[in-house]
Amino acid sequence: MQIQLQQGHADQAVWKLNTNGNFSISSAWNIIRETRSKTKINTNTWQKFIPFKCSFLLWRAFRSKLPTNEKLSRFGIEPSNYYCCYSPGSDTIEHTFNTGEFAKKVWKYFAISLGIATEYLPLRNMVMRWWSATYNNEAHKLILQSTPIFICWNLWKNRCAIKFGGKKTSMARVKYKVILDTFKLLKTAFPYISWPMEWNGICNLIEKCSHDIKVTAVQWIKPPFKWVKLNTDGSAILGNKGAGGVLRTCTGEMIFAFSAPLGEGTNIQAEIEAAIFGLTWCAQLNYNNVILEVDSQLIIDYILNNNTAPWSAVVQLQQLQQIASHFTNFKCNHTLREANYVADSLAKYSHQITSPQVHFSIQQIPRLAATYLNQDIIGMASFRRRKLKRIKEPP
């Protein structure tokens, strides 16, 4: 193991389980506790806008923790007869929620409009079929996740109303309650859309909704007169890191470009070492007015000491700050990835080579990087497209 010694700096204990190197009880607890792997069925059972009581009921149903006649009889209790269906059956969890004729008709009514298959499956598999269905937007995803929960909740309420409230079973009441719960959920999550109070109308509207797309024109900005701009980027693929960058004049002409494999490490280490590599060459070529531009806001915050760097990158960050202090004028800026395509392509190219390459002519750099470089020289913009969480109602 190679240990990097820092002269003039006191030794400091590092807690490796936290990125900031500081000890915390929560990280220590994570070592000793036994954790279960996350499952889709547990994750989807608990949703932000769905009432806790509905999710809790489904959670209990999946684990056979509901007081049906089948369960009560195991304790020597003779429960009263109960009929929730047009065709009576045993009072089991599967019968109440899935296999009974009443439950089957309810599931079929809501599944058909959303294109969900209706053939029989056990309750857990039936719900997973809904949760695994393809969705068009966030509202569509929400209704696929919530409807099975609301169906089970209202089937259970119907069962209890018959057994304990003396009411008659009502298909229309259960359907209406599921639709009402879904309507309230959609109005809470997406209040700016006019949702209908009718199931087919809700399904038709949801499938036609689409996400707002924010399109932003982004272009590389040339440095001021007598300044040079260094764009760098790091790349980490399967634990192997690489660096790429390009130094340009105020007219956009390339001074040098580089690609360098850096061995094993993280993406943050790659970003910092890419900047170190580029700034070292700037210092060797005696440039004094340098702008460092990267597409990682984290790196900018680390350089400006606005944020605490991970302990694994502290040494490299100190080296970067030391190099930057030697320039007469130094600035560091954040840019969007679409304005950093040259450095990005050079960083990715570093995974195809075995030793660092420094180029001083555009003819020497990879073709893709040269294409992006020429686009930057003439001021051609790239377009940044972002799908917003907000959905828009169809015209």
3 HSE (CA, 13 A, CB side): 4
Q: Is residue 388 part of a domain?
A: no
Same domain membership, residue 225 and residue 169: no
Same domain, 272 and 363: yes
205 contacts: CB under 8 Å, gap ≥ 6: 193, 195, 196, 393, 394
Q: Are residues 285 and 370 in the same domain?
A: yes
Domain count, the chain: 2
Bridge partners for 383 per DSSP:
217
Sheet holding 228-237, edge to edge: 329-334, 289-294, 228-237, 240-248, 254-264, 357-359
Q: What residues are paired with 217 via a beta bridge?
A: 383
Whether 200 and 302 map to the same domain: the answer is no
Report in angstroms the alpha-carbon separations of 383 from 221, 346, 380.
Answer: 15, 20, 10
Please answer whether residues 246 and 309 qualify as being in contact, where contact means their C-beta atoms are separated by less than 8 angstroms.
no
Does 187 share its domain with 249? Answer: no
Type of residue numbered 174: V
Residue pair 374/188 in contact by the 8 Å Cβ criterion: no
Examine the domain organization and report whether 255 and 324 are in the same domain. Answer: yes
Strand partners, 243: 234, 260
Best CA proximity match to 206, nearest among 297, 122, 125, 115: 115
Same domain, 65 and 167: yes
Task: Return the CATH number at 344.
Answer: 3.30.420.10
Residue 19, Cβ density class (10 Å: 0-12 exposed, 13-18 middle, ≥19 buried): middle
pLDDT tens for each residue of 179-189: 999 999 999 99
Of 163, 189, 213, the domain-final residue: 213
Summarize pLDDT for 294-320 with one digit per residue, the tens: 999 988 988 887 777 777 778 888 888
Domain termination site, one of 189, 213, 237: 213
pLDDT of residue 1: 41
Considering the domain boundaries, does residue 337 fall inside one? Answer: yes
CA atoms in the 13 A half-sphere facing the CB of 97: 26
| Residue 339, pLDDT score | 93
Q: Are residues 110 and 190 in the same domain?
A: yes
In a shared domain, residues 269 and 161:
no
Q: Which helix (H) or strand (E) holds 284?
A: helix 267-284
CB 39 within 8 A of CB 59: no
Identify the domain boundary among 163, 185, 213.
Answer: 213
Same domain membership, residue 185 and residue 128:
yes
Return d(Cα 250, Cα 301) in angstroms, integer: 25
Q: Which pLDDT does position 278 carry in this prediction?
A: 94
Q: Please tell me the pTM assigned to this model.
A: 0.70
The per-residue pLDDT for 118 is: 83
Spatial distance between the Cα atoms of 90 and 70, rounded to a whole number of angstroms: 8
**Based on the domain organization, do 260 and 151 belong to the same domain?**
no
Do residue 186 and residue 243 come from a single domain?
A: no
Q: What is the largest CA-CA distance in the chain?
A: 93
Q: How many CB atoms lie within 10 A of CB 281?
A: 17
Closest CA to 289 of 334, 209, 227: 227
Domain that holds residue 105: 42-213
Ranges in the chain, pLDDT < 70: 1-9, 12, 19-20, 71-90, 395
